[in-house]
Amino acid sequence: MQIVITGGAGFLGARLARTLLASGSLSLAGAPAQPIERITLVDRVAPPDDLAGDTRIAAAVGDLNDQLAAPDASYWATAAAVFHLAAAVSGECEADFDLGMRSNFAATHALLERLRGLGTRPVLVFSSSLAVFGHSPEQPVPAVIGDETLPTPQSSYGIQKFIGEQLVADYTRKGFVRGRSVRLMTVSVRPGRPNGAASSFFSGMIREPLAGVRAACPVPDDTLVALASPARTIEGLVRAAEVDDTRWGPRTALNLPSISLTVGEMAAALERVAGPTATALLDRTPDPAIQRIVKTWPGRFEAPRAAALGLKTDASFEQVIRDYVRENPDAVKLPVNA
């Protein structure tokens, strides 16, 4: 079996690749598991060294729209599954409208057209986002988001993701691909560097203090957020590829499971893990641009459809932090409590 991951050199893409390689095989849409022979990582940048050194990994480095237009990009035709994770992130899309329309709107359409043209009907897992939901003074959202809540995006990123869901649904209904859209929750704790996502600080406010570095916490303590760990997020993406059509159900996007907590509770969990030295590194200067986006996102979900697929929430955010510490020992400089 051959697999393509767009955005495959990014944090989630690389982690998904490692998870698939470690498993060695994948069951697609209810079919018996098949060994994974090749995973092509499509990204603007080269994959991390550990992946680049694996003989089952191929890298297609370049702009996704170019890769989709390239006649000699043969990996599209041989892919039994495509995980479409590549995207411009929320903050970028709000600052640069054309970038978002090119990277999210046009690229997702171009991907679907390329796959349709092949006639191979691959499984396509599309990573959408909780950012499809948004409240505003004119458009309040329910206190708890359910599987059938109407998305009313309040950012260009959210609109572009929601449009991607609609395209995936119709290309699936027409039999061009076997698409499954999953809405990722706010992923924390992401390792590595900050990015242009408005949600970037939800990881930075944990990761940076653990490294002994000051970090921005630009929103009020009572800001509620729906979080999932990297591990739970990858489980959701893989599960979306695995289940058969009947279990998957409607073509509407699936809200992944999340835990709800406030930014203050996140800081308290950090303090339980690494003491007041850690939380003293948090810089509480408000950032209006980030607040404007983040405050539109809902913080509480009920996800019975995901639960019926066997997907679980994290046990606690403290446990999520401890998992991060265990998985990223080189990035943690402060002493950690047992």
Residue ranges in contact with its own copies by CB under 8 A: 97, 136, 138-139, 148-154, 156, 159, 162-163, 166-167, 169-170, 173-174, 249-252
Closer to its own copies by Cβ: residue 97 or 333: 97
Say which amino acid occupies 68.
Answer: L
In angstroms, give the least distance from the CB of 256 to its own copies: 18
Q: Is-catalytic flag, 171?
A: no
Closer to its own copies by Cβ: residue 131 or 274: 131
Residue 147 DSSP class: T
Element (H, E) at 99: helix 97-100
Closer to its own copies by Cβ: residue 144 or 150: 150
Q: Strands 57-61 and 38-43, how do they pair?
A: parallel
In angstroms, give the least distance from the CB of 275 to its own copies: 43
Closer to its own copies by Cβ: residue 74 or 136: 136
- Phi, psi of 126, deg, nearest 5: -105, 125
Closer to its own copies by Cβ: residue 70 or 150: 150
Residue whose entry in the numeric block shows the structure tokens 């069951």: 27
287 CB burial (10 A radius; 0-12, 13-18, 19+):
middle
Residue 255 DSSP class: E
Interatomic CA distance for residues 231 and 234, integer angstroms: 5
Nearest CA among 202, 167, 193, 191 for reference residue 181: 167
Handedness of CA 38, 42, 48, 52 (dihedral sign): positive
Catalytic residue among 75, 157, 171, 324: 157
Token readout for 72 is 């000699």
**Interacting residues of 278 by C-beta distance below 8 A, sequence separation 6+:** 209, 210, 270, 271, 334
Nearest CA among 238, 255, 250 for reference residue 29: 238
SS (H, E, C) 10-60: CHHHHHHHHHHHHHCEECCCCCCCEECCEEEEEECCCCCHHHHCCCCEEEE
Closer to its own copies by Cβ: residue 148 or 330: 148
- Report, as residue numbers or ranges, the catalytic residues: 157
